[in-house]
Amino acid sequence: MKNTFEAEDLRNLNYAPFSEPLPGAIEPANSQSEIALPKESLDNTLLDQFLAAVKWVFLFLPGAAAIHFIMLGFALLYFYDNWSFGLIGASMGIFIFSVFMTMQGIGKLSDLRYLRVPASLFAAAGLAAIIYSILIIFVPGDFFGLYAQLAFPLTVFIGYMVKRDTDKKLNLTKPPLSS
């Protein structure tokens, strides 16, 4: 007959640290009790607000500017009658990178419903390019730089409003806290 040896003595608590439930065991998922979170976890702290501002300034705005100037650049290509397929392909590469930047800037890279924001930036900048193409017929002179600077805040505003509307549709806005 074969001799069997216990590898560990389960009656000794040194070998079985998890044999008893831990204090404050986890409740079942279907329990109706509410979890009391500290107030700091509900509010945006100063560092969270600072991070959101940094992402807005260094990611969203440059991405929106790239989309805006790509679309206005297409208006210039039409004006100067010089369509280059290499330039169009390169613009699409820059456009994809700027979409990535805007999605990182709003902090919703994994949620594809927020692709509405870069699409709205693209549409608003395309509309600005069409308006510029019409204006250059009636207004003598070259005011492209001034027009691009004046139309950019409107493009960013439209993108922000679409982000805000998407947040409302997905119920991601925070309810006001009661003290």
Structure tokens at 39: 């107030």
Residue-level pLDDT at 163: 93
User: Are 116 and 166 within 8 A, CB to CB?
Assistant: yes
User: Are 139 and 155 within 8 A, CB to CB?
Assistant: no
Look up the pTM and report it: 0.68
List b or e across 115-139, with b for residues whose CB sees 16 or more CB atoms inside 10 angstroms. Answer: ebbbebbbbbbbebbeebeeebeee
User: Are 121 and 159 within 8 A, CB to CB?
Assistant: yes
User: Are 116 and 92 within 8 A, CB to CB?
Assistant: no
Distance CA 152, CA 121 (A): 10
Q: What stretches in the chain show pLDDT beneath 50?
A: 179
Segments in 31-143 forming alpha helices (H):
39-42, 46-55, 61-80, 85-106, 116-138
Residue-level pLDDT at 1: 66
Q: Is the dihedral of CA 109, 110, 114, 119 positive or negative?
A: positive
- Convert the pLDDT of each residue in 27-57 to its tens digit: 555 555 555 555 555 556 888 889 889 999 9
Residue-level pLDDT at 178: 52
Residue-level pLDDT at 179: 47
Residues contacting residue 130 through CB under 8 Å, at least 6 positions apart: 75
